[in-house]
């Protein structure tokens, strides 16, 4: 049998994937929550029923065209590092890493469609693509959903829509989101203002790691809040519109920082990040995320002539716990991981050479 490490796209290749407007919108995701009409929700179902549900859904999922040669695994067959690596690639939720017997997962070969079975709902299916592709991920998951609905009976109420274990997902069961890199807004202290404005539009902007404005790595997830009383089409259109606005704000913030006398704020942050990462001998995830954010920004702005975005994305991936331990083929304690992480970062970041001031280009409007 194929192991997960053998199945997964190598990190360098995974990190090299590009998408439209992926400088600020790192990735787009759509997920649907669905349940069988004739079975208990996972939290209520006993083990034999959960196993039966898993079998039924698995059979249906693997028979679909988009899931050809997919990886299908029962969660108890995965090691902790496997689960962590899947979470780090945003293919499964943190909750699903805690599941064992009776829960499962299917991932297609391209690693852009994943189906969690017996997570909170019987079915959580997700499409993820690099860059700004909200509509495309929605269409993909909508198609998968329609195909699947032909094979298994969904719990659907004519008035409430799709039924879910938690009422916050009731109705369309859809969550569409984008991962945004917003260092410009963070450096110009505009994050809380943006978060506030967006939430008034019924959308949410949250730190992906950490809470609120303390978001690690200046990474934010913009997503729809409600699943009831609105069509999927409306949700997609509104999210696209809001993200486009946030991207514009981030671009303006970056331009402002570039235009600032001698680019001192930028150079100071990016230079220090480069200096620390290329000279540290032990470093935690938290600090890594925050410093790599500035390196990513430096690469975006052309301050590192030798810097490729894909190198950065790879570092971002392989310095996380699961990937680190899968690569080392052993579990490490926290200090060991912090040293291994520093080792990787020091060598790779040093190659970028220190950041340089850049000439100003007028912003395209």
What are the residues binding a second copy (CB under 8 A)?
262, 264, 267-268, 271-272, 274-282, 339, 342, 354-355
Nearer to a second copy, 237 or 328 (CB): 328
> 58, 148 in Cβ contact below 8 A?
no
> 140, 66 in Cβ contact below 8 A?
yes
Q: Which of 106, 131, 108 has its CA nearest to residue 116? A: 106
What's the rounded Cα separation, in Å, for the pair 153 and 148?
A: 9
CB of 209 to a second copy, least distance (A): 22
CB of 293 to a second copy, least distance (A): 16
Structure token digits, residue 118: 């017996």
CB of 294 to a second copy, least distance (A): 11
DSSP string, 62-80: HTSGGGTT-EEEEGGGS-H
Q: Which of 278, 347, 284 has its CA nearest to residue 320? A: 284
Nearer to a second copy, 43 or 350 (CB): 350
CB of 3 to a second copy, least distance (A): 32
What's the rounded Cα separation, in Å, for the pair 246 and 251?
A: 9
276-298 burial, b for 16+ CB within 10 Å, e for fewer? bbbebeebebebbbbbbbbbbbb
Nearer to a second copy, 144 or 295 (CB): 295
Structure token digits, residue 148: 């699947």
DSSP string, 46-65: -HHHHHHHHHHHHHHHHTSG
CA 274 from centroid of its chain's CA atoms: 25
CB count in 10 Å sphere of residue 217 = 24
Q: CB within 8 A of 260, min separation 6: which ones?
A: 266
Nearer to a second copy, 46 or 261 (CB): 261
CB of 350 to a second copy, least distance (A): 9
Nearer to a second copy, 195 or 277 (CB): 277
CB of 319 to a second copy, least distance (A): 16
What's the rounded Cα separation, in Å, for the pair 126 and 90?
A: 10
CB of 354 to a second copy, least distance (A): 6
CB of 1 to a second copy, least distance (A): 39
Nearer to a second copy, 161 or 302 (CB): 302
Nearer to a second copy, 225 or 268 (CB): 268
Nearer to a second copy, 256 or 282 (CB): 282
Q: Which of 132, 144, 225 has its CA nearest to residue 178? A: 132
């Amino acid at each position: 049998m194929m192991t997960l490490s053998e199945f997964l796209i190598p990190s360098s290749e995974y990190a090299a994937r590009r998408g439209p407007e992926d400088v600020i919108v790192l990735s787009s995701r759509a997920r649907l929550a669905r349940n069988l009409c004739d079975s208990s929700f996972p939290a209520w179902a006993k083990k034999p029923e959960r196993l039966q549900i898993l079998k039924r859904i698995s059979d249906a999922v693997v028979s679909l065209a988009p899931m050809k040669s997919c990886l299908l695994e029962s969660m108890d067959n995965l090691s902790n590092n496997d689960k962590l690596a899947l979470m780090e690639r945003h293919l499964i939720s943190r909750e699903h890493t805690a599941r064992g017997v009776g829960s499962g997962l299917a991932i297609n070969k391209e690693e852009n469609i994943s189906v969690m079975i017996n997570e909170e709902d019987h079915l959580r299916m997700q499409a993820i693509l690099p860059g700004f592709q909200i509509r495309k991920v929605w269409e993909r998951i909508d198609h998968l959903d329609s195909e699947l609905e032909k094979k298994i009976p969904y719990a659907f109420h004519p008035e409430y829509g799709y039924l879910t274990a938690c009422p916050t997902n009731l109705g369309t069961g859809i969550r569409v989101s984008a991962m945004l890199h917003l260092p410009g807004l963070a450096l110009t202290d505009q994050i809380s203002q943006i978060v506030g404005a967006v939430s008034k539009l019924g959308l949410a902007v949250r730190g992906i790691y950490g809470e609120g404005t303390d978001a690690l790595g200046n990474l934010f997830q913009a997503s729809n809040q409600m699943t009831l009383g609105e069509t999927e089409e409306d949700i997609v259109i509104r999210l696209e519109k809001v993200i486009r606005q946030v991207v514009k704000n981030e671009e303006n913030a970056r331009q402002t920082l570039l235009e600032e006398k001698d680019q001192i704020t930028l150079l100071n942050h990016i230079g220090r990040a480069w200096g620390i990462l290329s000279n540290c001998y032990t470093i935690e995830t938290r600090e890594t995320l925050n410093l790599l954010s500035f390196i990513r920004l430096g690469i975006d702005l052309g301050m590192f002539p030798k810097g490729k975005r894909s190198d950065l994305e790879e570092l971002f991936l392989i310095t996380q716990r699961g990937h680190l331990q899968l690569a080392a083929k052993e579990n490490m304690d926290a200090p060991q991981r912090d040293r291994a992480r520093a080792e990787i970062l020091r060598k790779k970041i040093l190659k970028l050479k220190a950041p340089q001031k850049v000439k100003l280009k007028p912003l395209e409007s």
